[in-house]
Amino acid sequence: MKIGVLLSGGVDSAVSAALLKRSGHEVVAVTMINWNPDSAPKAAQIADFLEVEHHIADLREAFQTEVVDYFCNTYLAGSTPNPCIRCNEYIKFGLLLQYALQLGCDKVASGHYAQIRRDARSGLYSLHQGLDSGKDQSYFLYRLNQRQLQRIIFPLGEMTKETVWQLAAELKIPVTHGQESQEICFIEGDYRNLITQRARCQPGEIVDTAGRVIGRHRGLPFYTVGQRRGLGIAAAHPLYIVDMRTDSNHIIAGGEKDLYQSSLYAGQVHFISGQEPESPHRVQAKIRYRAALSEAVLYPHFDRVKVDFAEPQRAITKGQSVVFYLGDQVLGGGIIEGIGSPVE
């Protein structure tokens, strides 16, 4: 099988390529330039070491539109984005997948810690958590569809990060031990600098949960729900951002207890099977990547879903994704639009 490995220059994709080549596949390395072209020489060095064909796809224009603009516009709208989810859907397993297929590849592989399975009876593909719970990246992949999953391989899904580093050492792959990719590849320093280069942030008032003005803020993009530091307010007890209102340009500040909510609603909902539940559905859900899975019930609500949690969740944040699981299987997810119940 001819497999295009999405080679970034890091250890995960490098070991993935080495394992697939060792298994007898024809491996082609595909590197994208999405922001900083400095990754291409490192990937080329690894491809040369592995003795595999190497191609570079310049996707800077599409990345700017689909990821960077989305990131900035979401913050300017008073929400907190997750650009990695967007990139996986539109860039890595969108345009870069298409590029690899045009090269004649049958499938693409990446160094993500997740697993893909196919049900022999239904023919449907499913996405599952990676074996290494500390590195599992299934949360970031919930927007993938059946067409994409049938073309993707995750060679590291049943491995731990420790094992991957051991393999890299054994195979003498030229990667720097311990080096990890930065969380947001296009941010160097403070993300707010990128946003303020594009638009003027409008200062406004900070109010408490009773609506009393207690301070001023520099502009909604400078803050996020759950934030404690940087409010510039002297109070008898710690204050946290519990909500941000774009209609009034207000930041709502409250105590620790005000951060906990039991319900949310989400839009842009995607289910990996392509079939949305028609009735309430028990799941486990998480409201951000590092959050724990929590028991919840999904309620379909027109083009949205309402999610009721068995236990209140801390700092539910608009713009982040709520992702639904059944055991280790990812069912899908959506973009958090608010707390409570949606208005019809």
**DSSP state letter for 1:** -
The question of whether 87 is a catalytic residue gets the answer yes
Same domain, 136 and 24: yes
Token pair in block for residue 205: 């008032």
Instruction: Work out how many domains the chain is built from and give that number.
Output: 3
Residues 248 and 263 in one domain: no
pLDDT at 69: 94
Residue 107 within any structural domain of the chain: yes
37 and 91 share one domain: yes
In 3D, which of 5, 46, 47, 11 has the Cα closest to residue 164? 11
Is 135 found in the same domain as 49? yes
- Is it the case that residue 179 has pLDDT exceeding 80? no
Confirm if 12 and 156 have CB atoms less than 8 A apart: yes
**45, 113: one domain:** yes
Give a yes or no: residue 315 inside a domain.
yes
For the segment 65-122, what is each residue's pLDDT rounded down to a tens digit? 999 999 999 998 889 999 999 999 999 999 999 999 999 999 999 999 999 999 999 9
CATH number assigned to the domain comprising residue 335: 2.40.30.10
Active-site residue, from 84, 87, 105, 201: 87
Closest CA to 173 of 329, 43, 272: 43
Q: Which of 233, 254, 275 is the last residue of a domain?
A: 254
Helical packing angle, 11-22 and 39-50, nearest 10°: 20
Structure tokens at 86: 């967007």
Query: For the segment 270-287, what is each residue's pLDDT rounded down to a tens digit?
Result: 999 998 888 899 999 999
Instruction: Tell me the per-residue pLDDT of 301-312, one tens digit each, with 9 for 90 and over.
Output: 878 999 999 999
Indicate which CATH number applies to the domain containing 96: 3.40.50.620
72 is catalytic: no
Neighbour count for residue 245 (Cβ, 10 Å): 13
- 332 located within any domain: yes
- pLDDT over threshold 70, residue 135: yes
φ, ψ of residue 159 to 5 degrees: the values are -120, 160
Confidence of residue 183 (pLDDT cuts 50, 70, 90): low
CATH number at 209 reads: 2.30.30.280
The parent domain of residue 282 ranges over 259-339
Phi and psi at residue 263, in whole multiples of 5°? -140, 150
Tally Cβ neighbours within 10 Å of residue 184. Answer: 18
Domain shared by 134 and 271, yes or no: no
CB atoms within 10 A of CB 156: 29
Cβ–Cβ under 8 Å, residues 168 and 14: yes
* 204-208 β-sheet, strand order: 213-217, 204-208, 250-254, 240-245
Taking the C-alpha atoms of residue 91 and residue 178, their distance in angstroms, rounded to an integer, is: 26
